[in-house]
Amino acid sequence: MYGKSGRVGLLVPSTNFVAEIEIARMMPEGVTVHTARCMLEDAACEADKVKALLAMSRNVLRAAREVACVRPKVIAWACTSGSFLQGADQEGALETEIETATGIPAVTTSTAMMEAIRSLGMRRVALVTPYIREINEKQVRFLEASMKGMKVVSVYGLEMLSSYAKNELEPESAYDAALKGDTQNADGVFISCTAWRTIEVIEALEKKLMKPVLSSNQVTAWAILARIHLQGDPGWGSLFQAAG
């Protein structure tokens, strides 16, 4: 039977064609990933970007109810910006709404991000993203407000507006951006965005930088496995090694 070790319900933005592939790759044998999409309009200008992301978030509960039909053990909302734009005071609220609507445990990428950062004891983070400046600023505020003692010591953003274009970035772009975004006083790097291919380069980056490197899809997969009490492959970075 497919999914004999567990089924995962995955919610992704409609324009994202990276997250479901990367997260499925990080699942151990016997775990299957089943996806529902949340409509995201591709913004034509920066002024409309945040509005489009917030509008997309209103589709999450509908998608959660649909993917709940496969009876997954957990439902994950795999969108970093879509899960932090509401602000630190709303952290965890969406998970509660999904759980109430479906009766299934839920996790968002933003919650997974914070859990992973805490797990590795990171306090001074270099943030690397493909986002426009406004979204970068909101992520910094979210992290620092949600996590006591947390400091984002540097931000390196690609200033990309198109949701589709982020999916077309090669893993090497994440590697190069992390090298540029890292600073000596950062004790770890977080590469943000579930539409950015990252998992192939995490291990190489950690060897190069000599510090933990996290990414949106990596932390989401790790948090999914934690909730269904399974181990991931330690080859996906020090986060998975710590979990083991």
Q: What CATH class does 6-110+217-243 carry?
A: alpha beta
Query: Identical fold at 6-110+217-243 and 113-215?
Result: yes
pLDDT at 244: 45
Q: Does domain 113-215 have CATH number 3.40.50.1860?
A: yes
Name, in order, each residue with C-beta under 8 angstroms of 67's C-beta and a sequence gap of 6 or more.
9, 10, 11, 34, 35, 36, 75
DSSP, collapsed to helix, strand or coil, labels residue 181 as helix
pLDDT attached to residue 89: 63
Q: Residue 43: what pLDDT? A: 81
pLDDT value at residue 38: 95
- Inter-CA distances, 57 with 80, 94, 106, Å: 11, 9, 15
Q: Where are the domains of the chain?
A: 6-110+217-243, 113-215
Low-confidence ranges of the chain (pLDDT < 50): 243-244
Determine the pLDDT at residue 44. Answer: 73
| Predicted pLDDT at 56 | 87
Helix, strand or coil, per DSSP, at residue 174: helix
Unique residue bearing structure tokens 């507006």: 161
> What is the greatest pairwise CA distance in the chain?
49
pLDDT at 112: 96
How is residue 28 annotated by DSSP? Answer: P
CB-based contact 199:25 (threshold 8 Å) = yes
Q: How far apart are CA 144 and CA 15, in angstroms?
A: 29
Report pTM: 0.95
Q: Find out whether 109 and 226 touch, Cβ atoms under 8 Å.
A: no
Looking only at the bridges linking them, the beta strands covering 124-129 and 151-157 are parallel
Contact in structure between 11 and 78 (CB atoms under 8 Å): yes
Give the whole-angstrom CA distance, residue 138 versus residue 142. 6
